[in-house]
A and B are shown apart, each in its own frame.
Chain A
């Protein structure tokens, strides 16, 4: 049973940092690329970042490039999103999502999602 469980959300002041975690039991984590996708309150979905199955390749949305870092620990089946220099416009529910990877090649659609972690950036 594929499970993705985010943690680490909360309220943070503008300019501060926060790290989100995503635990991924129930499947061979090291076989899949992984993503972060966010959703501002009452808004649509916005892709944030992707990391390849082995962590060697990473890409970001322009809105977070240089401020956010995606990483993974395959031994412990964990995905992370380090968020620095947070802005009010980063307020959102952050979902970790599994890529529909096939044979270590990413597919770039999302076949399983976590329940989300709410990040509120406010003074």
Chain B
């Protein structure tokens, strides 16, 4: 099973600043990684797939990078609606499909 580790657990950022979230895989997953955003009481929303491709309707301030075992989600110029929990998910080796533990982006 591929274990996904996200860091930091919590990130405090001021509106307008950028945020960098990390996701590490226990073994290589090539570029088979997705990022999701989840707000309280809501379902997750797909942001990025194949490590760097934005999903339909996702603003350009969200960008993904990385391959192998190290991945990054960058949110430039954070808006109020971006404060949420972010999860990475690998789909290279399965079953099972696995998620990271999440990073909460909170207002500083």
Pick the contact of A45: B49, B55, B99 (CB < 8 A).
B99
Interface centre among A45, A61, A112 (most CB of B within 10 A): A45
Pick the contact of B91: A60, A95, A107, A116 (CB < 8 A).
A107
Q: Is the CB of A109 within 8 A of B99?
A: no
Size range of the interface on B?
Answer: 20 to 34
Closest residue on chain B to residue A65 by CB atoms: B95
CB neighbours of A62 from chain B (8 A): 96
Q: Is the CB of B94 within 8 A of A116?
A: no
Q: Is the CB of A44 within 8 A of B49?
A: no
Instruction: A115 to B39: give the CA distance in the assembly, Å.
Output: 12
CB neighbours of A100 from chain B (8 A): 46, 49
- Which residues 98-123 in A have Cβ within 8 Å of B in the complex? 100, 107-116
Interface centre among A60, A61, A107, A109 (most CB of B within 10 A): A109
Q: Does chain B have a CB within 8 A of A27?
A: no
Instruction: A113 to B91: give the CA distance in the assembly, Å.
Output: 17
Contacts known (A44-B87, A113-B43, A113-B45); A108 close to B101, Cβ less than 8 A: no
Contacts known (A110-B44, A111-B55, A113-B43); A44 close to B95, Cβ less than 8 A: no
In the complex, how many angstroms separate the beta carbon of B33 from the nearest chain A beta carbon? 9
CB neighbours of A111 from chain B (8 A): 46, 49, 55-56
Q: Does chain B have a CB within 8 A of A46?
A: yes
CB neighbours of A95 from chain B (8 A): 43-44
Q: Is the CB of B100 within 8 A of A108?
A: no
CB neighbours of A115 from chain B (8 A): 42-43
Q: Is the CB of B34 within 8 A of A109?
A: yes
Contact with B along A47-77 (1 / 0, CB 8 A): 1001000000001111000000000000000
Closest residue on chain A to residue B45 by CB atoms: A113
A-B contact pairs, 8 of them (CB 8 A): A47-B97, A50-B97, A62-B96, A108-B91, A109-B34, A109-B49, A111-B56, A115-B43
